[in-house]
Amino acid sequence: MAYDRCWSKELRSAVWYSGALLALLLLIDGGVGSLTPVRAVLWGALALLLFAVLYPSQVTAGPGWLASRGLLREQRVRTDLLVSVRCLDGVAQRLVLRDVFGGRVELDPQVLVANPALWYGVAEDAGRSAAAGLLTCGETALRRVGERIDRETARTVFKVSGLE
């Protein structure tokens, strides 16, 4: 089973930013002298809202499946039975995978770039889906992600070996 190795670091960042916001708001409000219990609760709610927004999805994969667990729910897709893979561009780039059973996972392609073990499992299973004729849309998106991962891997190898 493969998992996102950067998840715990991102979770710590979400906790840190939320805590820092809460501390800063309480400090400023207390310094001005307008801090009341109601305002403290409101600042706490604002910090919790920021945490909910920043909470990272935990991506895991195994033979034939990929899952993304968020704060409230888990999305799971059968990677060996994919029918479409789309890359959504916008403020944050997202990769959307769908299987024959209607399962859908939406994730940041950077998770796959940072975790080659996750990527290779998905790519191998997607190849099986394409060979079976199930993957009708998305081979180009998968190829782009694969090329990006290859570039990052080569860059890392050059950097470690001192050839950069």
What's the DSSP call for residue 35?
A: -
Which positions ≥6 away from 15 have C-beta within 8 Å?
Answer: 51
Alpha helices (runs of H) in the chain, residue ranges in sequence order: 7-32, 37-54, 109-114, 116-131, 139-161
Q: How far apart are CA 28 and CA 141, in angstroms?
A: 47
Q: How far apart are CA 89 and CA 164, in angstroms?
A: 30
Q: What is the mean pLDDT of the chain?
A: 91
pLDDT tens string 103-137: 999 998 889 888 888 888 888 998 898 888 888 88
pLDDT of residue 144: 87
pLDDT of residue 22: 98
CATH T-level topology, domain 58-161: PH-domain like (2.30.29)
Domain-wise residue ranges, the chain:
2-54, 58-161
pLDDT of residue 65: 94
pLDDT of residue 102: 93
pLDDT of residue 143: 87
pLDDT of residue 37: 95
Q: Which two three-digit tokens encode residue 8?
A: 């715990």
pLDDT of residue 84: 92
CB of 127 closer than 8 Å to CB of 143: no
Q: How far apart are CA 31 and CA 65, in angstroms?
A: 52
For each of the chain's 164 residues, which pLDDT tens digit applies? Answer: 888 898 999 999 999 999 999 999 999 999 999 999 999 999 999 999 999 999 999 999 999 999 999 999 999 999 999 999 988 877 778 889 999 999 999 998 889 888 888 888 888 998 898 888 888 888 888 888 888 888 888 888 888 888 76
